[in-house]
Each structure stands twice: as structure tokens, then as C-alpha cells.
Structure 1
């Protein structure tokens, strides 16, 4: 079985998804696609993956999230802070017009809704948050919540 590189920001569910995809691929090759999930093209079943990969950096006073979204337009991407430790990225990738009726030999590119909840390494705030999208790469910069050090003691 493939080795999983467990970075410091991966969740157990991401590892589980990777293991399930690996098992699905092995069953597909063993059974020739019988009973596997996904789209069947000329007898080959392509697994339906509705996910994308991200990099998360804990950099000084900010958290930087970079996501690869090839073939997605800027207007079809939504980014939202759900709570101080989670960022949600959602996108829609539409099929090129006229492709539905074509006779594909193999089709691996996935179209439709994709979303990802990203666990952040530190609490962030929406103030001064910035996002850019260029050549299918989304970069989100989030300011960390300043940690208060020490406590104030009132004087009587």
C-alpha cells in the first residue's frame, strides 16, 4: 500500500480519504472496474474524486493557504472562514461545451462541485484577510489572532 506523508496539518479524515482512494484503485485493477464507484469510460471506471490539494503555512503573524484548482474560473471559487481554526474553500468546475456527446477513450478530469474544509494551525481573524487567484492557484492570507501574554492585575 502507498505510504502516506502525514504532515503536521493533515487530519485523520484526509488520511482516510487517501486510503479509500488507494483501495478503490486496487479493487478496480483487480476486478476490472466491476462494482467500483465513478464514471465508466470504455470499460474502465474512473474514481469520482471531488477534492483538491492544499498547502498550509504557519508564517510569522499570518497563515497562508494555497490550493490548486486547475480549470476553475475565479468567479466559481468561494472562500469562507467558518470559525477561527477552519477555512472552507468551494469551487465549481464546468465541463467544456460540446464534450458530453464525444466518444471518450479515457476521461479522468472531474467536473462539478468540489469543497474542502481546511484545518488551520492557529486561530485567525477575517480582518485584513486577502485572497488571490492566478493560473488556477488560489492563495489565501489570513492574519493570526494576536495572543495576549500575561494578565492585567487591577490595583485597588
Structure 2
């Protein structure tokens, strides 16, 4: 066998020669936004007091992650480095894992208290605990 190919029964039944060509070209490009796996997938949950964000960052190390908070905007970026370890006589048949820069930014409904926020990275998942900033209560003005 000279090369491995992914088999998808439904995709093969509905195959279009141009879409397959397009997919192969985009998979080999160096533009992170166009490659498979180049984005950070997130889950966001909310309580009255805080947001919890779980972000998948496979292959990244804690020191290669960066989280930036500005008001209600959160940006997560990471650098996944290719650690090549090949043995003599070994050749790569296929390479689907992503190496390079990843980034994801999103806006939340309320501003985040960045001073009391926390981040934990374990098993390829970054968990952010983002307390909501206390909103100033409005007052009703008496009309005289």
C-alpha cells in the first residue's frame, strides 16, 4: 500500500471530482483558516455569576497558550509545534494532524471581570472560568 486514504461511504456515493480536488488542495495549504483542524472548538456555558469556556487545543502545551480578555471579548490563541521523530527507514504515509497557529475569538453578552478570571489546561482542554463584571444598577429618576 503506497498511501492511506480516508473512506466515507456516503461521501463516495455522492462524490464530485472537483470537490475532492478542492478538499485535497485546501488540506495542503498553509493558511490555518482553510486547513482541517485549524480552529479551536469551544463550549460555553453560563450561570448568573460567570461563564465557563472549555476549549479543545489538541497537541498544545501550557506555555504555548495565550488568553486575552478585553471587556466582553475573549481571544484564545495557541502554537502547536511539530515534533518530528522519525526512525531510519521510516517514511510518512499520511499526515492529518495539525501543526501551526490556531486562534479563536468570541464576544460574550456581559463584560468579564478579568482580574478574577482563571484558566486551567489539562489533557488538551483549556477551561476558563470568567466571572461576570458587576453591572451598575440603573435608577429611576423622579419627575417633579
Task: Map Cα deviations across residues 11-35 of structure 1 (whole Å, 9 max, x no partner).
Answer: xxxxxxxxxxxxxx99x95334258
The question of 1:135 aligning with 2:115 is answered no
RMSD: 2.9
Q: Structure 1 regions of 5+ residues with no counterpart?
A: 1-24, 41-46
CA positional deviation for 1:88: 0.5
Q: Structure 2 regions of 5+ residues with no counterpart?
A: 1-10
Structure number with greater Rg is 2
Secondary structure of the residue that 2:51 maps to in structure 1? strand
Q: Hey, what does 2:68 align to over in structure 1?
A: 80
Q: Hey, what does 1:17 align to over in structure 2?
A: none
- The aligned runs of 1:119-130 (5 Å cut-off) are 119-130=107-118
- The aligned runs of 1:100-115 (5 Å cut-off) are 103-115=91-103
Secondary structure of the residue that 2:115 maps to in structure 1? strand
Higher strand share: 1
Secondary structure of the residue that 2:114 maps to in structure 1? strand
TM-score, length-normalised on structure 1?
0.66
Secondary structure of the residue that 2:25 maps to in structure 1? coil
CA positional deviation for 1:60: 2.1
CA positional deviation for 1:59: 1.6
The question of 1:63 aligning with 2:51 is answered yes
Q: Hey, what does 1:37 align to over in structure 2?
A: 26
CA positional deviation for 1:151: 2.2
* CA distance, structure 2, for counterparts of residue 150 and residue 118 of structure 1: 27
* CA distance, structure 1, for counterparts of residue 26 and residue 138 of structure 2: 54
Secondary structure of the residue that 1:127 maps to in structure 2? helix
- The aligned runs of 1:134-153 (5 Å cut-off) are 134-151=122-139
- Give the length in aligned residue pairs: 121
